[in-house]
Chain A
Amino acid sequence: MSTRSNAPVEIVVALCVALWSGRAAAGEAPAPEPAGPQAEPSGSDDTGAPVAGAVPEDLVPPRRRNEVVITYPEVLAATEDPPRGTIVIEYVVTTDGTVAEITVVESVHPDLDAEAVAAIADLRFDPATWQGQAVEVVQTLSIEVAPPPKVEPAPVAEPAPIAETTPPEPPRPPVRMRGRLFEAGQRTPIPDATIIAVPAEGERLGRVPYRRRKPPATPATWSVQAVTGSDGAFELRGLPTGRVRVIVLSPGYERFESVLDVPADRVVEVDHYATRMNTNPYRTEVGVESDPLATGTERTVTAEESSKMPGTQGDALKSLQNLPGFARPFFGAGQLIIRGAAPGDSATFLAHHELPMLFHFGGITSVFNADLVDRMEVEAGNFDARYGDALGGIVDVTPRRGRRDGFHGYVDADIFDASAMMEGPVGKGSVAASVRRSYIDAILPAVLPDDAGFDLTVAPRYWDYQASFDYPVGNGELTARVLGSDDRARLVLRDANDPDPDARAGVESATWFHRADLAYETRRNRWSFLLTPSYRRDSQTLRILDRYDVGIVNDRISLRAETTRELGKRSALRMGTEAVLDWQRLDVTAPPLGVENTSARGGRGPAGGASTYVQGTRDHRFLARPAVYATLKWGIVDVLTLYPGARVTVYARSSNAVAFEPRLRAVLDATDTTTVTGAVGWFAQQPAGPETDPVFGNPNLRPEHALHSSLGVQQRFGVGWSVEVTGFHKYLYDLAAASPEVVDDGRGGLRPVRFDNAGRGRAYGGELLLRKDFGGKLYGWLAYTVSRSEIRQRPGEDYGLFDFDQTHILTAIVGYRLPRNWQVGARFRLLSGTPITPRRNSITQLYDGAQLALEGDWNSGGRQAPFHQLDLRVDKTWTFRLVRLGAYLDVQNLYNAKNPELTTYSWNYQESQPVSSLPIIPSLGLKLEW
């Protein structure tokens, strides 16, 4: 470096235009610093404005933290014709805020270039961030340099001649290297990545590992750069012969460097594979359009989010149980208890049609593959009018389409099951299919002791499948989908004195469903249409000893047709119709319902014990539930949007009642970051199951009703943080309730009422959700719910705690992405125990020798001790060129807390003790993707 003079003029370097991956940053462009007349920043495009490009919206460009000065060398200034002009320098702002890969793109004079490079090397930045994580970016800087003014007046410059013709473009240098850039493990092209080649004389050939990535001692004397196209292809032109270092930069991918030799006599052909950062969702998002009438305040869990949640084994629906408003079911089973409502009062829809069951064996894992889910939205109450026949909440699962960027798939195995999935393009469309089967039936018989007391004739096993085919038709998308599930188990009880047990002395269950959907969605101008028919057959079989024999087969045709019209920027109208037709065949043999047989909603069932005298019902029913609905999105002003809606449902061939359900939601964007929501609405649901059976229940039950109201505030902060506070109240009436009454049967005798619509309920509380989005290194949420859920079975009684009441529910989830594709997560839960019904003694059922508990008021015996549990999950992904291997260790109940779940009693109910929750359970899983 030449000797610096104390020349009075300094050039203050200011960033003018930030180029990233060959495109200008769309974010904040650094403001030019005040500069001397000799140093004026200039943009790299014609206007001096940042170049528009397809830069990710969430890229935050680097912020310069210091200024540097370039001093014009006195020696040069003293020359007769001091050099002047614009030096263009390209460099990389690294993730630690330093500058690397400084390259002089356009030179003015070697000494000036050196001064400029030295100055740039001293720049420090707050690194650029993408989705909350620091990333490297390439920037280009134009520095206009001129000598300090002479003492004598400067000569008047002659106006430059105006060029009359555009000068011919210089000939392009020859291609010396070409190739394609792929995502490692996925083989999908990476577009818009920056490929930079710099000299690498003396460096080792091959991939440059992270530890050897040191900035060169001297600035690169040249560099060549290219940007990958949509197919990942790139060409590097004008590379000199010799050893070069190729640097690959792309947001969301790890920096890749490789040293190659460029021979003089041929073009180098090379493919590079870049590894996706673990902050970047692994899946190629093949989403579907979001609901235009969504309020934006729905609680959403993405498939990626759910797949890494501790304590859920990556299960989609189980992850929802960590959201505010969700209570924890016994033993962490698969029930969705939303805002104190019974599980049967909430509905789960997949692709607009309801699922008959959610979990294998009530809670092991969801019956559908989480990897084929795009997103899950939860409406804990006050859900849209497009959904009905539910008093609690709604879970709306939106499956994704198959990928169209190549054929992909995986095989996955953990301690319960193994699964496989394939997807890929078919013409313009795509297909995706997955299958899963458990192997508990292979393991359990092997580990059970010979004197276990029972034989597993059919050990518990489950399987499920999903397949979808999407194809663009006309202006829309046609989807065909099939899915199904099958759970079976059979055990025969065996006693030490009975080597040949009676086959009837056992328990057998089989639950399955198969479903086929068609869906066509299209948009024309401001109209969009949806038409989706679905057929489903589901079956439940349960045999317990020779006393309970339940067989239910249901054929359902479900049809939904709706149209949405955008009425303006902030307004839209959706109208639709839904028809659900059920052909039910019940073949049930069971004792009359007794006190231990609670109603479907929970709570006390009809009084009495289980009878030795079983009864049966062979009921063939056709039920129809047509409905029409409409919701208007009405943006009254910029900040206030109303969502009035209504639904009319006819419960034909059951109660023949007509339910009118008006609903209103309002969203106020108080500020850019503050949203206030309020809602009120009526909801109806027809009782089902044994409650309406003519033998075991009351076929004359009417629909149950609920009035929901809620008010919430959501505040969004920077870098993905948000907080949401919601208060809610539900009043439930016409609830199907167990009745101990007997009435005149009109023939001079009596008959039991069994169930009537005399029940009332109420639930109220508040929810807090502090959430950090899934995008960055740190993610998670803190969910807290305080609530009370009460029910009154009979008129005149006091309200008592409902079975699913949990006063305090605190769930904290935190995950952190570590380097090298490690990821750790933890979940901690602390919540109130469930209510207890006091039982102190019993009466002997002399007809069968069993004991019938004498009970106090329902749920009046206090609560189980609070539940607390810590779960831990560690994920590691190894990415190879063509495949990716993932492994996880999910440890539930890390410190082996003994949380009481239930109370078990002595034979005469005079003694009791708690039944603890599951102990520490480690689960290991492996997943090979391609």
Chain B
Amino acid sequence: MRRSVFALGLLLGCAEGLPDPSLVVEHRVLASRLEVDATDADPSVASRAEVLPGESLSITPFVVGPTGVVDPSTLDAVWIACELAPGQAPFACLPASFPITLEDLPACATATGEAAWANPTVGRSPCLIGRGGGSTTHAVVASQTVVDGAALELTFIAGAPDGTPTDDCGSELLAGEYDVPDDCLYGVQVAPVGPAAALATAAEAHGFTAPLQPLAPANTDVPDTNPTIVSVRVTVLDDAAEVVVPAREVGPGETLDARMGQVLRIDTRSPVGDLQPFAIPAGDGSWTESSERYRGAWLSTWGRLLSTVSNDPESYDEWELVPPEDVDAPRPPGGVAHLYYVVRDGRAGVAWWWISVRVAE
């Protein structure tokens, strides 16, 4: 891997010597999962990530650290919603209001159902969804911008456990500062509003002007759902690639035992059926049909990974339980190493999975 980075760097003029991005040595927010009318918190169950006005959107962050996954409920977190105008890039909406304070932000409307169409969010963008634990629920309220832009920008601000308070993290970011505290957790998510045909129909039914964008072909105008990870199998190998512990299914968050120098081979499977077709507007009324594809990211708190990405429904990685390169950490903190896997579908859908390993000498 290092050679490939070097070769690519040689071609592209990059440099080496910076921290390995796949090595988690401080708290990070890796992803957030959007679920409409979530009935089950189990991320292995597909759920809809695309929301329509009047529906409630459950937002769950995936916060990890060097000692494992952080329970969102233990965080003091803030979520801010902002209505993206057509073509507006993520994190362009909230910064347009900088400098601002958390106290200045109005609370987001909470109307659902028909009421969400009756009380457009004029003057309420950006707005404060809520403050408390990392997970929250946002009621999506209609406006002409929401109808036209079909996306919400969701900004996450939280202080890391035992780190800078959330108020300080928020005030620095919302003031437009770029030199914010290093340990603050900041994230921005885009919540798609749709599907387009349903949105247009509902908008017209409630007196809004239909979106400028013509409707995509019906076969591509399906709700964006979250992918699932249906199978994770772990095989323990020794340094000669001989099987020490045969492959077995493991659940999310499970803790395994292994020895220093052994290799964990992890095979994951996500159904191809979880991927949806979608259409890309071409600006002239036509569309280009495309489909989602998996993008997996592997991270660990200790050890060495064969690869940090995977792009297939069935993918694998190898986790070698040896000290990471360029880091003085002969043993994992507390003797336990953690592996995080996040898989996205290229749009709003996401799923994650993790295991822990007690590393013996």
Contact = CB atoms under 8 A, between A and B. Distances in A.
A695 B283 contact: yes
Indicate the size class of the contact surface on chain A.
35 or more
Contacts of A615: 87, 280-281, 283
Given A495-B307, A497-B315, A856-B178, A613 B190 contact: yes
Given A843-B186, A904-B15, A591 B311 contact: no
Interface in B279-334: 280-284, 286, 288, 290, 293, 295, 297, 306-307, 309-312, 315-318
B148 interface: yes
Contacts of A617: 282-284
A502 B190 contact: no
Contact of A840 (B13, B61, B179, B307): B179
B90 interface: yes
B307 A749 contact: no
Interface residues of B, number: 83
Scoring B87, B180, B297, B309 by chain A CB atoms within 10 A of each residue's CB, the highest score goes to B87
B159 interface: no
Given A496-B306, A606-B89, A852-B188, A613 B182 contact: no
B222 interface: no
Contacts of B178: 838-841, 853-856
B179 A740 contact: no
B21 A907 contact: yes
B280 to A, nearest CB: 5
B100 interface: no
Interface string A874-904: 0000000000000000000000000001101
A854 B180 CA distance: 9
B95 interface: yes
B360 interface: no
Given A839-B178, A846-B188, A911-B19, A751 B148 contact: yes
B88 A843 contact: no
A606 B87 CA distance: 11
B32 interface: yes
Contacts of B192: 613
Contact of B31 (A610, A846, A913): A846
A488 to B, nearest CB: 16
Given A618-B284, A841-B178, A911-B19, A546 B85 contact: no
Interface in A226-279: none
B7 A497 contact: no
A409 to B, nearest CB: 35
Contacts of B189: 846-847
Contacts of B342: 849
Contact of A452 (B3, B148, B290, B344): B3
Contacts of A594: 89-90, 92
A451 B144 contact: no
A915 B14 contact: yes
Contacts of A747: 144, 148, 209, 212
B190 A611 contact: yes
Scoring B88, B148, B317, B348 by chain A CB atoms within 10 A of each residue's CB, the highest score goes to B88
Contacts of A546: 290, 293, 346
Contacts of A693: 283
A700 interface: no
B307 A740 contact: no
A493 to B, nearest CB: 8
Contact of B89 (A452, A502, A607, A745): A607
B240 interface: no
A798 interface: no
A618 to B, nearest CB: 4
A454 B8 contact: yes
Given A497-B315, A740-B96, A749-B148, A608 B90 contact: yes
Interface in B14-51: 14-15, 17-19, 21, 28-32
B149 interface: yes
Contacts of A742: 85, 88, 96
A76 interface: no
Scoring A610, A752, A843 by chain B CB atoms within 10 A of each residue's CB, the highest score goes to A843
Contacts of B310: 495, 497-498
B357 to A, nearest CB: 19
A902 B9 CA distance: 13
Contacts of B190: 611-613, 847
B331 to A, nearest CB: 24
A862 to B, nearest CB: 14
Contacts of A611: 89-90, 190
Contacts of A912: 18
Interface in A686-707: 693-696
B92 A607 contact: yes
B68 to A, nearest CB: 19
Contact of B91 (A608, A619, A745, A839): A608
A616 B179 contact: no
A912 to B, nearest CB: 8
Scoring A331, A610, A616, A749 by chain B CB atoms within 10 A of each residue's CB, the highest score goes to A749
A589 B280 contact: yes
A910 interface: yes
B13 A454 contact: no
A749 B96 contact: no
B257 to A, nearest CB: 24
B275 interface: no
Nearest to B122: A748
B348 A913 contact: no
B353 interface: no
A607 B7 CA distance: 33
B180 A841 contact: yes
A177 interface: no
Given A495-B307, A840-B178, A910-B182, A612 B92 contact: no
A842 B92 CA distance: 14
A392 interface: no
Interface string B330-361: 00000000000010101110100000000000
Interface string B117-149: 000000000000000000000000001110111
A609 interface: yes
Nearest to B211: A749
B188 A845 contact: yes
Interface in A592-612: 592-595, 606-612
A480 B42 CA distance: 72
Contacts of B316: 497
Interface string A487-515: 00000000111100110110000000000
Interface string B171-194: 001000111101001111110100
B91 A911 contact: no
Interface of B: 1, 3-5, 7-8, 13-15, 17-19, 21, 28-32, 61, 83, 85-93, 95-96, 143-145, 147-149, 151, 155-156, 173, 177-180, 182, 185-190, 192, 208-209, 212, 280-284, 286, 288, 290, 293, 295, 297, 306-307, 309-312, 315-318, 342, 344, 346-348, 350
17 contacts: A451-B4, A495-B310, A504-B293, A546-B290, A613-B151, A615-B87, A742-B88, A750-B83, A750-B144, A843-B187, A843-B188, A846-B31, A847-B347, A854-B177, A856-B179, A905-B18, A906-B21
Interface of A: 331, 448-449, 451-454, 495-498, 501-502, 504-505, 546, 587, 589, 591-595, 606-620, 693-696, 740-742, 745, 747-752, 754, 838-849, 852-856, 901-902, 904-908, 910-916
Given A451-B4, A607-B91, A750-B85, 14 more contacts: A453-B1, A502-B312, A620-B284, A747-B209, A749-B148, A749-B149, A751-B85, A838-B179, A839-B178, A843-B187, A847-B188, A847-B344, A847-B347, A904-B18
User: Closest 10 A-B residue pairs measured CB to CB?
Assistant: A453-B4, A608-B89, A608-B92, A907-B21, A749-B144, A748-B144, A617-B283, A843-B186, A616-B282, A452-B7
